[in-house]
Amino acid sequence: MRVLLRNPRREVEVAGRRSVNALLRELGLPRESHLVIRNGTLVPGDADLADDDEVEIRPVISGGV
């Protein structure tokens, strides 16, 4: 599957079906500070991701106060 990462914006290819939580763990990204969008729709941590999915992992942390 094609995975879009942000800050900085880049794309990675990940092969094989897995859950959202598993993908975040593999990429070393904390669940609490990221959302995952599959084919344009927000999905929870136990959602399955397949090879033909387009996935965006969006960080949610802002630095300013």
Partner 1 sequence: MVASASKCRTCRAPAIIDLPRHNAHFCAEHFLQLCRRQVTKAVEQFEMLNADDKVLVAVSGGKDSLAVWDMLVELGYHADGLYIGLGIGEYSDTSADYARAFARDRGLHLVEVSLRDEYDYDVPTASRATRRVPCSACGISKRHLFDSAALKGGYTVLVTGHNLDDEAAVLFGNTLRWDVEYLARQLPVLPARDGFPKKVKPLIRLTERETAAWCIVRGIDYLVEECPMAVGNKHLAYKAALNAIEHESPGSKANFYLGFLDNMAPLLAGRSAADEHALNACSSCGAPTTGELCAFCRLVERAAAHEPVPVELLLRKGRSR
Query: Using the rule CB under 8 A, is 47 a contact of partner 1?
Result: yes
Distance CA 26, CA 5 (A): 13
56 beta partners = 4, 37
- Within 17-46, the residues that bind partner 1 by CB under 8 A are 17, 30-35, 37-39, 41-46
Selected binder of partner 1 within 13, 15, 28, 63 (CB under 8 A):
63
- Closest among 51, 53, 57, 55 to 15, alpha carbons compared: 51
**Binding residues for partner 1 (CB under 8 A):** 6-7, 9, 17, 30-35, 37-39, 41-48, 50, 52-53, 58-65
